[in-house]
Amino acid sequence: MGLKLQVVKNGKILCEVPLSPREWPREDLESECHMLEEEIEELSKIFEALTNETRMRMMTRLLGEEDFMLSFNDFLRGFNMNPKSVREHAHRLSEAGFLENPGRGKYRLSELGRRKFVAAGLALRRMLNILSEELEW
């Protein structure tokens, strides 16, 4: 039996995903692929937002803030960005559901955005490292 990914809440398994297609029942794999195709636009927004180094750095910095919030000027100074770039990157992150705009010139990671980033960024990085190590053994 190979590696599986589990999502657990209060000791209860909410979701369990084998990480090898060979370990899926064929019908389940086809169903999941079909659902993936139906949700491809939403997933594409998430991955597009996170495949840019500047946006990843913005997300990491926001996640490190106690209130998960930074100002427009924080991005200008902290990332040596021009105003147009800040707006464009923030817009992409907002479209993907990561950011909310609590006030003029402020950007905050939404609750859902925090969870998405942990899942699609931090957890994914760790899982990929484990998969690479497993294949080397």
pLDDT at 70 over 90: yes
Tell me the domain boundaries of the chain: 1-38, 44-115
pLDDT at 119 over 80: yes
- In this structure, whether the domain defined by 44-115 belongs to CATH 3.90.226.10 is answered with no
Q: Tell me the pLDDT of the chain averaged across its residues.
A: 93
pLDDT of residue 1: 59
Give residue 103's pLDDT band: very low, low, confident or very high (50, 70, 90).
confident
Q: Quick check: pTM over 0.85?
A: no
Cα 31 from Cα 34, distance rounded (Å)? 5
pLDDT of residue 131: 87
Which residues touch 1 (CB under 8 Å, ≥6 apart)? 23
Cβ atoms of residues 91 and 97 within 8 Å: no
Burial degree of 127 (CB within 10 A; 0-12, 13-18, 19+):
middle
Which residues touch 103 (CB under 8 Å, ≥6 apart)? none
Cα 48 from Cα 51, distance rounded (Å)? 5
